[in-house]
Structure formats: C-alpha cells, structure tokens
C-alpha cells in the first residue's frame, strides 16, 4: 500500500468531512496549488478563492520566507495585557497611517476573524459603560449575514448555516436584532433607483431604532461587501452614507465587518479599506474588523480597528480594557503581517488585484450573461467577485437546495483545474446558489483569463447536466 493510499484510509482531524482526510493541499506557488485527493495529485490548480479570501501574496513567496525567518529570531512571546511588544504597535501604526487620515486611532490584533468580531462586541459594550450608558446594549445586524464561527459572532449573524445553534446564541430577537439585507439584484424594485432603494432600507432601520428606543441601541453592524452568506453584492448607492448618518443621529456605533473584503482586497490603488469605495474619510466606521489577507495565510492574524470617538471614551474613562486573549497582539504574527503589508504596498498589489478582479467581472459578465445558462448575476468589487446561479433569469428563481448546485459547481471547477467557493441556495429562495472568487493579489492578466475560461466551461457543463436532469431548460 502506498503512503498516499494509507493516509486516505483514516482521518485524525475533527473538522469538515471527518471519515477520511479528503482533499489535501501538498504544495503551491503563487496562484497555483497542488492538491491530493483519493490518492491522486492534481498539480497546478488555480486557487481562485485564495484559501478563503485569505491569500494576498500567494503561496510560497520567497520574500515572506525571509520575513518569517527574521521574525522568528527577533520576537519573543509576551502576554499582551501584562507586557506588550513593539511589533504590534508598528502594525497598528502602519494600518492607521495607510487608512484615511483620522479614520482610526488604535488597533487590537487577534488570531481569527471570528475572534475579531467577538472582541469588537466587547469593545461596544465597554464603550457605553465608559460613558455611563449601560442600557445601550442592542445590536442590529442584517439578514443573510455572517460574522464568524464562534457563538458570539454567530449570534449577530443571520443565515441558515447557524440555525441549528440557535439555543446557544445570546439574545436573539431581544438583543441581537435583524434588519433587511441590502441585496440589489433581488430586492430592489424595478421602479426604484438605487438611491431610493437605499432610502427605503434605511427608513426601515430607523423605524427599528425608534421602535426599540434609541437609548437601548448600541451598534449597527454591516459587512461592507458580504462574502459567503450573500455573494459579494455591493451596497446600493448612498446606503452606507445613510447608515452612517443614522448612527450619528441616534448615538449608535457604526460597525463595519471587513474581515473578508478588507485589507486591500477591494480597496483599489493602495487602499486598505473596502468602505473607501463608498464613504468619505469623515464617514469612516467607529469600529472595523479585519482579517484574512492581513497575514496572507502565512500567520493567523486578524484585528479590530477603533475610531477616535471609541478611543476617546476609554481615554476619558478607565484607560484600560477588561481582560484579553492569550495570543492577542502576538509579536511574531504582527511582525510577519507587517512585512507582508509593506511588500503589498511597495508593489501596489492592491491596485493589481482591483484591476484584475474588475477584468474578471467584465469577462464573466460578457461570456456568461450573453449566453443561455444558469448564471443569473455577476457582481463584486475589485478582487472579490461572485456569480449567482438561478433556475430562471427573468424571475430569478433559485434552484431547490436538494439539487446541491453550489457544491456540484465547485466539483466541476475542481475537475477543470480551478478552486472556487461554492455555496448553497437559501431554503426560502432568498438567495441562490453562488460561487465566489477571491484570488491572490499577485495574479496576472493571463491568470485572470484562465480563471474565466475554466469558470465558464464549468458553468456550461453544469448547465448541460441540469438540463439533462430536467431541472433547467
């Protein structure tokens, strides 16, 4: 028996599919990865999802190896609530100075996007305690949202994947409130402009605030550009600006989750934040969570950025945070992430991924929506794109979940040498099956065209298959 065959017989990992190891990455370079599955190695697969929208510099970057080696010899672990480190300070300074002036005043580094949203919730709570407003506790977040895998992060999320854990989620419908999602493709009326749609959405949120008493509402939480839960649907025109104004009006924290879409993936030429596409610097969020591309998968790092009004409340109050995680502001992780971010800035890879991502959007739109197939919508911003699949383009009817279209499409792509994220439709039809693309920032025009070619081929193959089954015509 070969070593590969032996390793396929049993898995020791309690995650994902647990009865066998399943597909495993065994190598990679740039945007390409080698995957072993069922004893067979599939070399040079195009990783068009960057792990999970994580890759910024791609895989096996030689300069990152030097950054890692240097960090390993120059950093020492310390428990940050007792003894801090210079690396965390430097990374915070970099992020703040490379964001719009005055947007952020401080940062906390942690080890995952879920953890960053957990910490952000604690900051929200302590902020109002510092100001002597203990009754401001309610959180308003959107339907079809996803903010992480931990229970606190899932409590502020609303999607079918977390329904089974409802008994363990805090304050659903009393503390954690649900507002409508901003989903132009499905929910904007034909008679409305985008601005009118935005106004309708924000009017609904304002009514929620008033119905719940503004003196009890703490924060409004929005993914600037949703990821797996909705499929990279950009905010309609004026939406984020109106939400920002609403938060100002009622003394509510404006909280943006950019774990998946931020840190350069959607910012454009040299910009770190996705919201810079939609808001002016003086409309920046009060709290923002980040992660994914911060460490490009080489280290486990994410973070919380706080604006001036948040920090000022703490400075005028206790000047301290209540508690902390063992590995927050980990010196090694921060040093590596800083080196990665400095290289991205030097090479302007944010500009590159925005340009190539926009090209992918245009090519997919031209090649898919001009032909008869299951693609209903192509959408996204910069290096974060998705395609939604529908049974009928006119009615936008989603495929039944039993057809498993998202997972089947992911498999079609795999066999065609492309790795994507395939997500299922919502059982109530409020969102169709979708495939997400979030390639490394270093991709070339040839890489972008190859992604589109393999993606389109996979769409056509699945379309033919569903037609033969009588599930599409």
CA distance 178 to 86: 40
Q: Which domain holds residue 424?
A: 3-60+349-469
Question: Do 213 and 317 lie in a common domain?
Answer: yes
Question: Do 141 and 200 lie in a common domain?
Answer: yes
Question: Do 255 and 373 lie in a common domain?
Answer: no
**The pLDDT value given to residue 323:** 81
**What is the DSSP secondary structure assignment for residue 101, as one 8-state letter?**
T
Question: Do 424 and 339 lie in a common domain?
Answer: no
Name the residue with higher pLDDT: 453 or 17. Answer: 453
- CB 316, CB 69: distance < 8 Å: no
Confidence grade of residue 16 (pLDDT, cut at 50, 70, 90): confident
Question: Do 236 and 356 lie in a common domain?
Answer: no
Q: Which of 328, 347, 366 is the last residue of a domain?
A: 347
Q: Which of 298, 328, 347 is the last residue of a domain?
A: 347
Region 72-86: mean pLDDT is: 95
The first and second tokens of residue 385, run together, are: 């794109």
Give 257-300 pLDDT, tens digit per residue. 999 999 999 998 889 999 999 999 999 999 999 999 999 999 99
Name the residue with higher pLDDT: 315 or 15. Answer: 315
Region 171-184: mean pLDDT is: 97
**Placement of tokens 């949703």 in the chain:** 226
Q: Which of 324, 347, 370 is the last residue of a domain?
A: 347
**The pLDDT value given to residue 6:** 42
Question: Do 112 and 16 lie in a common domain?
Answer: no
Region 142-160: mean pLDDT is: 97
How many residues would you count in the chain? 473
Question: Do 343 and 374 lie in a common domain?
Answer: no
**The pLDDT value given to residue 17:** 85
Question: Do 335 and 381 lie in a common domain?
Answer: no
Sorted by sequence, the CB contacts under 8 Å of residue 23 that are 6+ apart come out as 35, 36, 37
Question: Do 331 and 253 lie in a common domain?
Answer: yes
- CB 50, CB 438: distance < 8 Å: yes
**The pLDDT value given to residue 117:** 98
On the question of pLDDT at 3 being above 60, the answer is no
Give 110-141 pLDDT, tens digit per residue. 999 999 999 999 999 999 999 999 999 999 99
Average pLDDT, rounded, for the chain? 96
We report the CATH number of the domain holding residue 129 as: 3.40.640.10
Confidence grade of residue 4 (pLDDT, cut at 50, 70, 90): very low
Give 346-356 pLDDT, tens digit per residue. 999 999 999 99
Question: Do 54 and 82 lie in a common domain?
Answer: no
CA angle 161, 164, 165 (to 5 degrees): 100
**The pLDDT value given to residue 5:** 45
Which residue in 23, 20, 21, 49 sits closest to 34, CA to CA? Answer: 23
- CB 217, CB 147: distance < 8 Å: no
CA angle 46, 52, 58 (to 5 degrees): 50
Question: Do 80 and 137 lie in a common domain?
Answer: yes
Question: Do 286 and 330 lie in a common domain?
Answer: yes
Q: State the total domains in the chain.
A: 2
We report the CATH number of the domain holding residue 431 as: 3.90.1150.10
């Amino acid at each position: 028996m070969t070593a590969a065959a032996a390793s396929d017989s049993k898995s020791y990992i309690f995650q994902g599919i647990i009865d066998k190891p399943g597909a495993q990455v065994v190598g990679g370079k740039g945007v390409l990865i080698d995957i072993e599955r069922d004893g067979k190695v599939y070399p040079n697969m195009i990783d068009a999802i960057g792990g999970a929208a994580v890759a910024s510099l791609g895989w096996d970057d030689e300069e990152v190896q030097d950054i890692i080696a240097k960090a390993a010899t120059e950093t020492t672990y310390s428990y940050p609530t007792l003894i801090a480190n210079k690396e965390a300070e430097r990374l915070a300074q970099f992020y703040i100075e490379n964001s719009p002036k005055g947007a952020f005043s401080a940062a906390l580094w942690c080890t995952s996007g879920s953890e960053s949203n957990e910490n952000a919730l604690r900051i929200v709570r302590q902020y109002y305690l510092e100001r002597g407003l203990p009754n401001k506790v309610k959180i308003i977040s959107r339907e079809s949202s996803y903010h992480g895998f931990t229970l606190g992060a899932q409590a502020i999320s609303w999607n079918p994947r977390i329904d089974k854990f409802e008994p363990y989620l805090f304050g659903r419908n009393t503390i954690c409130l649900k507002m409508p999602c901003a989903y132009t493709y499905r929910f904007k009326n034909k008679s409305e402009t985008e601005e009118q749609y935005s106004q309708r959405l924000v009017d609904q949120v304002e009514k929620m605030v008033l119905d719940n008493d503004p003196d009890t509402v703490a924060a409004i939480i929005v993914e600037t550009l949703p990821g797996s839960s909705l499929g990279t649907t950009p905010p309609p025109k004026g939406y984020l600006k109106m939400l920002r104004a609403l938060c100002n009006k009622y003394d509510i924290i404006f909280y943006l989750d950019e774990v998946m879409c931020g840190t350069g993936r959607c910012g454009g030429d040299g910009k770190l934040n996705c919201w810079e596409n939609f808001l002016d610097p003086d409309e920046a969020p009060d709290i923002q969570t980040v992660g994914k591309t911060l460490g490009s998968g080489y280290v486990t790092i994410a973070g919380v950025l706080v604006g001036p009004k948040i920090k000022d409340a703490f400075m005028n109050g206790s000047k301290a945070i209540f508690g902390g995680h063992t590995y927050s502001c980990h010196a090694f992780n921060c040093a590596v992430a800083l080196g990665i971010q400095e290289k991205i800035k030097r090479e302007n890879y944010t500009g590159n991924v925005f340009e190539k991502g926009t090209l992918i959007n245009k090519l997919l739109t031209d090649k898919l929506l001009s032909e008869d197939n299951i693609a209903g919508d192509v959408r996204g911003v910069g290096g974060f794109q998705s395609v939604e699949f529908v049974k009928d383009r006119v009615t936008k009817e989603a495929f039944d979940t039993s057809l498993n279209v998202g997972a089947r499409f992911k498999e079609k792509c795999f066999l065609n040498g492309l790795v994507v994220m395939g997500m299922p439709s919502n059982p109530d039809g409020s969102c169709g099956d979708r495939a997400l693309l979030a390639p490394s920032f270093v991709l070339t025009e040839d890489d972008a065209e190859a992604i589109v070619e393999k993606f389109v081929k996979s769409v056509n193959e699945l379309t033919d298959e569903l037609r033969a089954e009588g599930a599409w015509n």
